[in-house]
Amino acid sequence: KAADTLSTADRVLKAQGQERVLLRTLDRVGTGTLLMPHSRVVLTRDSVDWATAQTVSELIARVPGVYLWRGGWQGRAEMPNYLGRGATSVEYLLDGVPYLPVGPDSLAADPSLWSLSLLDRVEVERGAGQLRVMLFSRRHDRAAPRTRIGITSGDRSIARYLGTFERRYPSGIGLGLGAEYFAVNAPNGGTGGMNSTNAWIQLGYLPSPTLGVQFQLQLQDVARDTLFDGEPGEENALSGGVVGTRSDAQLRFSWQRAPGDLGSRADLIVGRTSWSSDSVAHQVGRLGAVVAHRRPTWSSQLTVWHNSEWTPLDARLALGWAPFSRMSAAMELVEQAHSGDRRSRWGTARVGFRAPILGITLSGVVRDGERVQAPADTEDQGQRFTDLEATASVDGRRIGAEVGMARLDGWRPIAYRDFMRVASLRPVESSDWVTAKARVAVTSWLTMESLYEHAIRGDLPDGTPPHHGLTTATIRSRFLRNFPSGIFEMKLQGMVETWSPGVIGRTTEGAPIAIPGRTLVRGWLQFKIGPFIAYYDRVNFQAVRGGTVTRYPIPGLASSFGVRWDFLN
């Protein structure tokens, strides 16, 4: 018998060497513009893994000014409402491509349906009265293959199974595969069960440092049962059922003048979005181009999209300028043409300044123009607006604070389709808001953080209580005395969300729907040993009978737990 020519130790050393070999990947689309102070929250893969969040919706809820409409517990709709602007107050992009709502709800997308484990990065861009959430799928940049597996269980027979595989070769070929299955049963004697499958396929080829092509397909199969308040019947329906399959395919051709972040680059993207079910079948094709140039002190980006439905033209020009290290400015101009001879035009101007003392940062945002908030609704017409926002912050190692003031123009917000008991939201003439965020690192392992928003003057919009706050206390330690290598890490977090009595919306007759004040307590325990992560999540510790939306309660003392394991083969 011939002896092995390669020992086990040699194989281990070879694998460890591949883990340190970096290979080129396609740059993310839409991230080349200069960032302004307070303009964008960036969550990398590690931040997402350690966030106290099961869904994209819960990540967005950590932005001051967001009130999250929860349709119950896991598996039900979770819709962010930013500063009372309603269903369309948040827009989404998936790998640089606008994410169009299709299927049963063509007005707003439900971010709770995405799989966090199939995302590599989440960026939330803040503006006066509008949020833009940019989602980026995973991209592998190592010579060693990467595999991720995960499993979750919990109350109501929760089941979540995850598996991904990523490989990149020195020749420039890249492969990514992933799928996550999630299911949750209805409560005993109740309704509202759900199961979904998210799948992701990515194929790429980079023949040179300046050229690349990538195909990506994302599938989402959803079966969400109707939720009733009591016995099944139309009069007791809270949320309609959703059964169907959505697919988002894109083929991207990329060119850049030279490797690196600086210089010129251009991307051509061909995409297709489709929804199929027994009741609805819909397809939207799109063709887009992104041309950008980045220098150390300025940036420019032109994005043009053609869609086969609703918005034939969507053009955006973004400019950024940082003449000094302590000052920067940015501007974005948007021109959209919609079906029915409707148009949207608006501009956003930003300016920021960092003071040389105390780390104080000041910024301001102005948005002015006319916008059709729901292009898929042929009855929706453009609304004229001028929105202003100013923010001041100080960020130190131990203490951080941020205070923002926003003056929003009149608006006719759209209600959320999935919350059938809230038929509409009252139009407002104008509203003034104050938002705040504070962080105190009591010790190196104990941190307190709070978010708060409050409508201080003008009309009080429906859908957001007058006062809403979210406070967390986090213990996070590596126990370096016991684990000097740093391989172990633990996080224990308590979360308290509270809101005052208000009006959540209107009935079909126009009568206000009151929402009582509530306080919800949540706990999260997570620890990490190398690439292995385990967590335990428990909500509504006080078993409060109620939720963030009237008649949509969050179950008391509901819990889930799971593990995830990333490893380079």
Q: Which helix (H) or strand (E) holds 485?
A: none
* pLDDT, tens digit, 9 for 90 and up, residues 366-402: 999 999 999 999 999 999 999 999 999 998 889 999 9
- The closest of 184, 186, 282, 176 to 232, measured between CA atoms, is 186
* pLDDT, tens digit, 9 for 90 and up, residues 215-268: 999 999 999 999 999 888 888 899 988 999 999 999 999 999 988 888 999 999
Q: Is 25 helix (H, G, I), strand (E, B) or coil?
A: coil
6 has a pLDDT exceeding 60: no
Amino acid at 449: E
76 has a pLDDT exceeding 60: yes
For every residue of 509-557, DSSP letters joined together read: T--EEEE--EEEEEEEEEEEETTEEEEEEEE-TT--S--SBTTBPPPTT
Q: Residues 414, 419, 420, 426: what is their CA dihedral angle, to the nearest 10 degrees?
A: -30
Q: Residues 51, 57, 62, 65: what is their CA dihedral angle, to the nearest 10 degrees?
A: 180
Give the pLDDT band of residue 279 (cuts 50, 70, 90): confident
The mean pLDDT of 467-477, rounded to a whole number, is: 96
Give the torsion sign (CA, 560, 453, 389, 36): negative
pLDDT on residue 2: 52
For every residue of 374-423, DSSP letters joined together read: -TT-TT---EEEEEEEEEEEEE-SSEEEEEEEEEE--B-PBPPTT-TT--
Q: Is 236 helix (H, G, I), strand (E, B) or coil?
A: helix
* pLDDT, tens digit, 9 for 90 and up, residues 328-370: 999 999 999 999 999 999 999 999 999 887 789 999 999 999 9
Q: Which of 181-185, 485-489, 507-511 has the lowest mean pLDDT?
A: 485-489
Q: Give the residue, 355 or 56, on which the prediction is more confident.
A: 56
CA-based radius of gyration for the chain = 24
List residues bridging with 526 in a β-sheet.
Answer: 491, 535
Contact 312, 321 (CB under 8 A): no
Residue 125 has phi, psi (to 5 degrees) of -95, 125
Name the residue with tokens 């949750």.
184
Give the separation between CA 496 and CA 542, rounded to whole angstroms.
11
> Which DSSP symbol is given to 334?
E
Give the separation between CA 207 and CA 184, rounded to whole angstroms.
44
pLDDT on residue 3: 52
Give the pLDDT band of residue 480 (cuts 50, 70, 90): confident
Contact 71, 82 (CB under 8 A): no
> Which DSSP symbol is given to 210?
T
538 has a pLDDT exceeding 90: yes
Give the separation between CA 306 and CA 53, rounded to whole angstroms.
34
4 has a pLDDT exceeding 70: no
First to last CA, the chain: 28
Instruction: Kindly report the number of other CB atoms within 10 A of residue 202's CB atom.
Output: 21
* pLDDT, tens digit, 9 for 90 and up, residues 553-562: 999 999 999 9
Per the prediction, the chain carries an average pLDDT of: 92
Secondary structure of the chain: what % helix, strand, coil (to 5)? 5, 55, 35
Residue 11 has phi, psi (to 5 degrees) of -65, -40
Query: Which tokens is 197 given?
Result: 């499958």
How far CA 229 is from CA of 142, 235, 237, 532, in Å, comes to 51, 9, 6, 40
pLDDT on residue 5: 55
Query: Which tokens is 294 given?
Result: 């980045």
Give the pLDDT band of residue 482 (cuts 50, 70, 90): confident
Query: Which tokens is 538 given?
Result: 């428990």
Query: Which tokens is 90 given?
Result: 């948040």
pLDDT on residue 485: 79
> Which DSSP symbol is given to 484?
T
> Which DSSP symbol is given to 34?
P
104 has a pLDDT exceeding 90: no
The mean pLDDT of 8-31, rounded to a whole number, is: 81
pLDDT on residue 358: 76
pLDDT on residue 295: 92
Instruction: Kindly report the number of other CB atoms within 10 A of residue 490's CB atom.
Output: 15
The mean pLDDT of 444-450, rounded to a whole number, is: 94
* pLDDT, tens digit, 9 for 90 and up, residues 410-446: 999 999 999 999 999 999 999 999 999 999 999 989 9
> With 0-12 CB in 10 A as exposed, 13-18 as middle and 19+ as buried, what is 18?
middle
Amino acid at 531: P
